[in-house]
């Protein structure tokens, strides 16, 4: 009797869950998913967690196929030669194929004082720590959000809608990805919410202190709570394991998402650098990469040549508080165009996208086999697999 192919997926975010569910539909494939948390994190709702309107988590029982073994632990290292991963809990899990979907977290700030006095928001644990810090501040206390991308914009809007005095520090430009027409629309909505937007020459953060943010041009902004939303970084697991990465640590792959070092290691999501040209970090890309990673593994199992990756974008959506939203339309290669949808329709579309993203995972999970017993080791809070 032929042995099933064992596939280990490291990381239970949008890409990892998508890949695992696709693989679990095959009776001849055994899937183990390793993740440091016992719940699926809706990362696109973390700003809502900070604002108090959503807990941003979903039980894996809803989004993960029942025949997938879930191991709640973190991966310490990958032994590519021995085809195994060593867990921080001390055990080792072997594999025939490995999907590297460790995702991303907050980039390590290089601004003096930022690591000590600012609150990052890229992970569930960070958002959970930020919420009580905001609650503890007086209602009129100044809050500064640093970051010109969707995370910064959404967080600033969410807190301003609560009545907070919010300043959004953008550096050179608010929403660099946005088309100028869309950028002006977002700026108008932020102004209506009472957000002070600081951008232009000299508007980069030079230092963060306990009660202020200092800019390059010498301005000092009072800040009781400083939120750091200035970009993402990836875990160093691949580099620590001796695998080839790009300059920021993403696993370097070919156009099929296969590691340039090992045909049995396939990458997906934010921590993948396909053909040295990674896509924008987003759940929109993660789902497509997770699906392609699963197909690449199945092609290799069948002895076939995997097809090259194709990722198509529709645009970028943001919530601007609970009542207003914004959708920036884009070409399939992710270039913003003049079309956008704002206001209440934009908010409804954003919520539809959030719900549909989870619904898609639920639907894929139901295609797998009945639920199997799961091995839940103690979670390692605050770590990324």
Assign residue 242 a region (left: φ > 0; alpha: ψ between -120 and 50; beta: otherwise): left
**What local confidence, expressed as pLDDT, does residue 150 receive?**
94
14/157 Cα distance (integer angstroms): 25
299/365 Cα distance (integer angstroms): 21
**What local confidence, expressed as pLDDT, does residue 370 receive?**
58
Measuring CA to CA, which residue among 308, 309, 364, 297 is closest to residue 28?
Answer: 297
Tokens describing residue 354: 């959030």
**What local confidence, expressed as pLDDT, does residue 346 receive?**
96
Contact 128, 294 (CB under 8 A): no
Burial 155-194 (b: 16+ CB within 10 A, else e): bbbbbbbbebbbbbbbbeebbebbbeebbebbbebbeebe
**What local confidence, expressed as pLDDT, does residue 276 receive?**
82
**What local confidence, expressed as pLDDT, does residue 282 receive?**
87
Calculate the alpha carbon distances from 382 to 35, 76, 98, 128, 352 in Å.
Answer: 11, 14, 23, 11, 29
Contact 344, 323 (CB under 8 A): yes
**What local confidence, expressed as pLDDT, does residue 380 receive?**
38
**What local confidence, expressed as pLDDT, does residue 369 receive?**
62
**What local confidence, expressed as pLDDT, does residue 237 receive?**
98
What tens-digit pLDDT sequence spans the chain (385 residues)? 468 999 999 999 999 999 999 999 999 999 999 999 999 999 999 999 999 999 999 999 999 999 999 999 999 999 999 999 999 999 999 999 999 999 999 988 999 999 999 999 999 999 999 999 999 999 999 999 999 999 999 999 999 999 999 999 999 999 999 999 999 999 999 999 999 999 999 999 999 999 999 999 999 999 999 999 998 899 999 999 999 999 999 999 999 999 999 999 999 999 999 998 888 888 899 999 999 999 999 999 999 999 999 999 999 999 999 999 999 999 988 999 999 999 999 999 999 999 999 999 999 999 976 554 444 443 333 333 3
231/120 Cα distance (integer angstroms): 10
Contact 121, 156 (CB under 8 A): no
Coil, helix or strand at residue 20: helix
**What local confidence, expressed as pLDDT, does residue 381 receive?**
35
**What local confidence, expressed as pLDDT, does residue 368 receive?**
75
**What local confidence, expressed as pLDDT, does residue 3 receive?**
85
329/333 Cα distance (integer angstroms): 11
Q: What angle do CA 110, 200, 141 make, to 5 degrees?
A: 70
pTM: 0.93
């Amino acid at each position: 009797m032929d042995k099933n192919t064992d596939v280990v997926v490291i990381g239970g975010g949008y890409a990892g869950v998508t890949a695992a569910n696709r693989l679990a539909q095959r009776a001849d494939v055994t899937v183990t998913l390793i993740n440091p948390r016992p719940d699926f994190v809706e990362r696109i709702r973390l700003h809502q967690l900070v604002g108090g309107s959503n807990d941003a988590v979903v039980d894996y029982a809803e989004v993960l196929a029942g025949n997938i073994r879930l191991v709640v632990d973190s991966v310490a290292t990958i032994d590519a030669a021995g085809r195994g991963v060593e867990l921080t809990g001390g055990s080792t899990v072997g594999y025939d194929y490995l999907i590297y979907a460790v995702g991303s977290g907050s980039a390590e700030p290089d601004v003096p004082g930022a690591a000590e006095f600012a609150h990052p928001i890229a992970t569930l644990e960070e958002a959970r720590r930020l919420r009580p810090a905001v609650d503890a501040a007086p209602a009129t206390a100044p809050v500064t959000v640093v970051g010109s991308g969707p995370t910064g914009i959404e967080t600033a809007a969410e807190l301003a809608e609560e009545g907070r005095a919010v300043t959004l520090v953008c550096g050179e430009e608010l929403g660099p990805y946005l088309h100028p027409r869309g950028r002006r629309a977002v700026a108008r909505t932020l102004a209506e919410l009472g957000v002070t937007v600081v951008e232009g020459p000299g508007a980069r953060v030079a230092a963060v202190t306990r009660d202020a943010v200092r800019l390059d041009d010498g301005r000092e902004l009072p800040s009781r709570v400083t939120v750091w939303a200035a970009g993402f970084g990836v875990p160093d697991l691949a580099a620590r394991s001796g695998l080839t990465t790009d300059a920021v640590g993403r696993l370097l792959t070919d156009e099929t998402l296969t590691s340039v070092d090992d045909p049995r290691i396939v990458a997906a999501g934010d921590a993948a650098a396909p053909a040295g040209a990674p896509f924008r970090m987003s759940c929109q890309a993660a789902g497509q990469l997770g699906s392609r990673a699963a197909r690449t593994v199945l092609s290799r199992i069948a002895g076939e040549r995997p097809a090259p990756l194709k990722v198509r974008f529709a645009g970028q959506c943001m919530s601007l508080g609970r009542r207003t939203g914004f959708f920036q339309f884009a070409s399939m290669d992710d270039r913003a165009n003049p079309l956008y949808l704002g206001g209440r329709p934009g908010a409804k579309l954003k919520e539809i996208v959030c719900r549909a993203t989870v619904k898609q995972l639920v639907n894929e999970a139901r295609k797998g086999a009945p639920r199997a017993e799961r091995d839940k080791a103690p979670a390692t809070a605050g770590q990324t697999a």
